[in-house]
Amino acid sequence: METETENENQTNTNLYRKKQKDAKLELETDPLMKKRIPTKNKLKTFGGVYSPVLECIISLIFFLRFGWILGEAGYLEMIGMYLFAMVSVTFTVLSISAIATNGKMGIGGAYYMVSRSLGPEFGSAIGIVFSLANIFTCALHIFGFNDVLMDLLGWDPSNYKLVLLVSTIILFVTLCLILIGAETFSKATIFLLVPLTVSVSISMISLFFRKPHSAHGYSGWSLKTFRKNTFPDYVPDPLHSMKTIDFRTTLGVFYPALTGILTGANMSGDLKNPGKSIPKGTLLALLTAAIYYFVLITTFAFTVERSELQQNYFILCTACLVPYIVHIGMLSVTFSSALGALIAASRIIQSLAADNFIPILSFLKKGSIKGNEPRRAVIFGWIIAQLLLFMGNINAIAPYTSQFFLATYGIINFACFIHHALGAPNFRPMFEKFNSITALIGTITCFAGMFFVGYVTAIVALVVLALVFIYINYKGTPSPWGYVSQSLIFHQVRKYMLKMDMKKEHIKFWRPQVLLITDQPQLSLPLLDFINNLKKGGLYIIGNIFHSNFNEDQAIQKLEERRLSLYEVIKLTKIKAFPQVLFSKTFRKGAQSLMLSSGIGEMKPNTIILDIPNSSTLIEDINLINSNEIDINDIENNPQKRKNKKIKSKNKSIKKKLTKKEKKQIHVQSQFDKLIETLGKSDGRQEDESINYYYYSMIDAKKIGMNIILTSNFNKLDKNEIVKFSEKETRQKNN
């Protein structure tokens, strides 16, 4: 089965390469084609990765909720949250960087990473939910922008029509900027980074140098204030007075603040050098955000009274010397995050559509001539976001978006871990600042973080991912990229096969390891099914001898066709067998090769099965042996044993001591010897032209020490008739 998948993958890869070659030839022969070939954007590290990542990490949670988290959890617990989240996200960035530098990085960001690492099922599942999560995030940031703007201008946030109008305008502006192109998006993020930096800087300076008690709840730098803010003091949320607050609740608010680290990687198809820009830009943005986080948490702990932290979400505006500058900073991060989320969703959707694993999305794969901009995918995402705006309140969806982000990070870490741990030869990233331990810790912390945020939403998110995975697995087309599961299976099989020791083998655990030898291209299906039942958990190899010469024309091609047809038979009949096809001029030499070379390690056949065609003598002998008409005394009249006086006298002496059952066993053996002698008689033809080549193969098997089973006329076997007869016998006995 594994080789069949490999063949399908190889065929798809060859077709893909042929299409590329034909397209290149057409481009060279038709100058007009050059005008129709999409070009690639060439964004640099700062505008393509650093700015959008930093603006997504410094989100509204940073401005509005850090003070509340500190007031509830205290400084020590919040630093613990900070360290946990930073370790998790940092190790995730290391895994992202490793995958991004492992060969050429294409369009699609997270989807591209996972699909090329773990296979299309994982990739498509992540691609669908991650793109939808980005669209939901875009709508959430638009609502956040609207709330800040309403607060700044003093408008009524409960006016649904006004909120919808403002939100729709902001979303439309976002759409227009993205439709223009990735370069415009890059310039916009750089522009928006300026007010964000100014806002954060002035806020920090205000907390450092403002006069004590010059603002409500601001005490200035005080050890007394720090001592009060050191340990937890959980009180009900001022906006949700009935809700109990604990460490898990505050971590669930803090942890999603860092779910913007893939923003730069999602622009992989628009970057000039993604292998360089993604690691460098993402790590620098994370370092900058980590410094901002630590400074703000520590400054709040020393300068703001606990009651104010717990009750005033806008404490940063209250403590800032220029309150409006904080609003401007919040507007810039929400608008930039909405831009980043929508453009990331469009790139992922375009990549999903281009791979054609979900045919319904195929119309979204087309990009513009300049920059290959996925304008159809952008409009598709915009329509969904606009529908969410019509809903008015989508706060209930927010926890699920965070879960899908964290699930994506966990799977990326897992992909990096499994490839590095298995030592996959195709996994050789240029980025080396990671290992299996960092990837494993990243995996564990991301999935643990999901359940800290909310175990119900985590289970729902994982179930959705599993359902999409199952759908793609059964409905999708074969992947030309390979499957990491095959690498994992190979690693484990090799590991345990090396542990098998022939010296520890015991007769109690003997299993039939069966080798069916045939040179016929057509096989008896009842025979295959019978042997499949016979093996009882043992090894089952179907050895097929192809009468040809290695140097003959198209010999390899014909052998491959025979092998593929045998795989197809195994697949259709659902038997648990391994096929093996080889060249041989004669049946006997082919059988010798199969008996000596089949299997691997200690898993080698101990029994051969020869299916003898048109052997009425064999069937008569077997029927005779199984009947009750045998006279045990006939054993003395065996002409083969009469020739040897010693054997005769020995049999006479044994005869007196043997029971009837033992004598019948000897008679069965004598009949088998007689059968071998009959098969060995020459009928004047060459060895491989007569049935006697089975005789030579049995002699070879006995020399090797293998058990021998002879079969014939299995095409006449009808299991249904046997079942009917058995049921009839049972009814008769019961009656």
Structural domain boundaries in the chain? 46-484, 505-719
Q: Among residues of the chain, what percentage have pLDDT more than 70?
A: 80
pTM higher than 0.95 for the full model? no
**Token digits for 649?**
């006298």
The predicted structure's pLDDT at residue 32 = 39
697: pLDDT confidence band, cut at 50, 70 and 90? confident
DSSP letters, 60-129, are HHHHHTHHHHHHHHHHHHHHHHHHHHHHHHHHHHHHHHHHHTSS---TTTHHHHHHHHH-HHHHHHHHHH
Residue 476: pLDDT over 70: no
Q: Please give the radius of gyration of the chain, using alpha carbons only, rounded to the nearest integer.
A: 37
- The type of residue at 425 is P
Q: What is the mean pLDDT of residues 513-539?
A: 83
Q: For residue 469, what pLDDT is reported?
A: 85
C-alpha distances out from residue 513 to 418, 532, 535, Å: 33, 11, 7
C-alpha to C-alpha distance for 515 and 528, rounded to whole angstroms? 11
Name the one residue in this structure whose structure tokens are 């007010």.
195
CB 414 within 8 A of CB 119: no
Residue in 23, 485, 96, 34 with CA at minimum distance from that of residue 263: 96
Looking up tokens 């994370």, which residue turns up? 286
pLDDT (mean) for 310-316: 90
Count other C-beta atoms under 10 Å from residue 337's C-beta: 27
Alpha carbon 391 to chain centroid distance? 35
The one-character DSSP state at 258 is G
Q: What is the pLDDT of residue 653?
A: 41
3-state secondary structure of 683: coil
- Of 26-35, 169-178, 491-500, the one with minimum mean pLDDT is 26-35
Q: How many whole angstroms separate alpha carbon 436 and alpha carbon 195?
A: 40
Cβ proximity of 730 and 632 under 8 Å: no
What pLDDT sits at residue 279? 94
Q: How far, CA to CA in Å, does 311 sit from each of 183, 297, 366, 501? A: 42, 16, 50, 69
pLDDT(8) > 90: no
Give the pLDDT confidence of 376-413 residue by residue, as tens digits: 999 999 999 999 999 877 777 778 888 999 999 999 99
Burial of 46 (0-12, 13-18, 19+ CB in 10 A): middle
What is the SS3 assignment for 641-681?
Answer: HHCCHHHHHHHHHHHCCCCHHHHHHHHHHHHHHHHHHHHHC
Q: What is the mean pLDDT of residues 614-631?
A: 46
Q: Cα dihedral sign for 681, 683, 685, 688?
A: negative
User: Domain 46-484 carries which CATH code?
Assistant: 1.20.1740.10
Predicted confidence (pLDDT) at residue 322 exceeds the cutoff of 50 = yes
**Closest to 513 measured CA to CA, from 435, 581, 606, 444:** 606
Quickly tell me which residue has 């309150």 as its tokens.
323
- The chain-wide mean pLDDT, for the chain, equals 81
- Neighbouring residues of 58: CB distance < 8 A, sequence distance ≥ 6: 196, 200, 289, 292, 333
Exposure of 565 in the CB half-sphere (CA atoms within 13 A): 13
Q: Is residue 181 helix, strand or coil?
A: coil
Q: Is the pLDDT of residue 645 over 60?
A: no
What token pair was written down for 692?
A: 């006697």
231-278 pLDDT tens trace: 999 887 655 555 678 888 888 889 888 888 999 999 888 898 998 999
| pLDDT at position 38 over 70 | no
Q: How far is CA 642 from the centre of its chain?
A: 69
225 in Cβ contact with 75 (< 8 Å): no
Sign of the alpha-carbon dihedral angle for 622, 625, 627, 629: positive
The pLDDT value given to residue 508: 75
Q: How many CA atoms lie within 13 A of 680 on its CB side?
A: 12
Q: Give me the sheet containing 707-711, strands edge to edge.
A: 578-584, 540-547, 514-518, 607-611, 707-711
Structure tokens, 382: 């915009």
Q: How many CB atoms lie within 10 A of CB 435?
A: 14
Q: CA 121 to CA 466: how far, in whole Å?
A: 9
Quote the pLDDT of residue 460.
Answer: 92
SS3 call for 559: helix
Total number of residues shown for the chain: 735
Half-sphere exposure for 715 (CA within 13 Å, toward CB)? 8
What integer is the mean pLDDT of 617-636? 43
pLDDT tier, 644 (very low <50, low <70, confident <90, very high otherwise): very low
Write the pLDDT tens digit of every residue in 533-586: 888 788 999 998 888 777 777 788 888 888 888 888 888 888 889 989 888 888
Q: Residue 271 forms beta bridges with which residues?
A: 43
**Given the DSSP bridges, would you call strands 514-518 and 607-611 parallel, antiparallel or unpaired?**
parallel
Are 100 and 268 in contact by the 8 Å Cβ rule? The answer is yes
Q: Are 421 and 435 in contact (CB under 8 A)?
A: no
The mean per-residue pLDDT over the stretch 343-369 comes to 88
From the list 483, 497, 488, 495, the residue with the least C-alpha distance to 422 is: 488
